[in-house]
Amino acid sequence: MISIGVFRKAMHQIAAKRGDLTLFALFKRANGLGRWDLVASAPWLEGGTLKGRSELVDLLAKSMGRRRLSELARVETIPSDDPTVKSILDSLPVDDDDAERRIQNADYFGLQIDEAIILRAKRPERKRPARKAVQPAGAGASRQRG
């Protein structure tokens, strides 16, 4: 049995350290021998690359420990613009404070999934840079001519 609380805590710790995740989900593949895959997507995470996967594995290991991490069959990073990620965001939105969404017998990322547990499926809010205060043209230090 997979411990959802451990993965939820790791998700929150990673988000606090690196930024919000777009997708954070566990998938049990039909041919996965009963083990779970962790799938994640985020604007700051290089989806589908070894570098992105390594970064995520390191963050997970620091949060939950290598032993717990080794219980997963795979850890995958997916680009945020992936059509399946977009579909999940539109049809199965899950915010950080929501209960996880559980799906059975579905097809995601071209794989037959027996069970999915979606802990987050939400586009991160864009943080706008702070605006500089606009000052009137004559508000600067005055020059004296003489």
* DSSP structural state of residue 90: H
Q: What angle do CA 70, 73, 79 make, to 5 degrees?
A: 110
Confidence of residue 129 (pLDDT cuts 50, 70, 90): very low
28 has pLDDT over 90: yes
Give the single-character DSSP code of 124. P
With contact defined as beta carbons under 8 Å apart, do 84 and 117 qualify?
no
Computed over every residue of the chain, the mean pLDDT equals 86
